[in-house]
Structure 1
Amino acid sequence: MEILLSAALVILAVFLVSTRSRSSSREAAIERKLDLVMRHLGIEDPAADSPDVLGPLMQGQKIQAIKVYREQTGASLAEAKAAVEQIARNKGL
């Protein structure tokens, strides 16, 4: 009985991991396409020019800038970190 339960849990875990990886790769593909469209249309991320993000970033408070970016955009932690780092590079910070 314990072996069957363990096997069922392993199968469930494998299923959940494979479902998540497909979803995250699909989300990443959609994000890349959206970024391309925005770049083509000359649309910039509104949070990139936000003084609430730039202020802390210019003071060397990257974590605070990431927090504000997340609050303004609803981005995940990884997305916000990447975006704030890109903003810093674009602004020469």
Structure 2
Amino acid sequence: MPDEDVAVLILLGVVLLGVITLQGNISRADRRVARVEHRFDLVLEHLELREEVPGRDESVALVREGKTIRVVKAYRDATGASLAEAKEAVDRLG
């Protein structure tokens, strides 16, 4: 019995280390993607290009009326963006 307990504890330790390592790799990848997206935004700005926003004219009007949450939801539905990405895109409209 004690040998089985030790084996289970070792296995749990290995799994835990694997999860921690994987989480660290994902965090680094997320930061790298964020940096690339920021650089891409700078390039778009430099070239005076705008990101295509579905229903842009209507969305701008709704933002000016203070209905930002509605526009963020519509943007997320149309693009599949995360809440943060949608909020940033809508903030750029105003």
TM more than 0.5: yes
Alignment counterpart, residue 74 of structure 1, candidates 74, 80, 83 = 80
Where does structure 1 lack aligned partners over 5 or more consecutive residues? 89-93
* 1:53 is aligned to 2:54: no
Which of structures 1 and 2 has the bigger CA Rg? Answer: 2
Would you say the 8 A contact 2:54–2:78 is kept in 1? no
* 1:13 is aligned to 2:23: no
The two structures, once aligned, show a CA RMSD in angstroms of 2.2
Alignment counterpart, residue 29 of structure 1, candidates 35, 42, 49 = 35
Could you tell me the percent identity over the aligned residues? 32
> Structure 1 length normalisation: TM-score?
0.75
Q: How many residues align?
A: 88
> Structure 2 length normalisation: TM-score?
0.74
Q: CA deviation at 1:53?
A: 2.2
Gap change, CA 1:52 and 1:68, over 3 Å in 2: farther
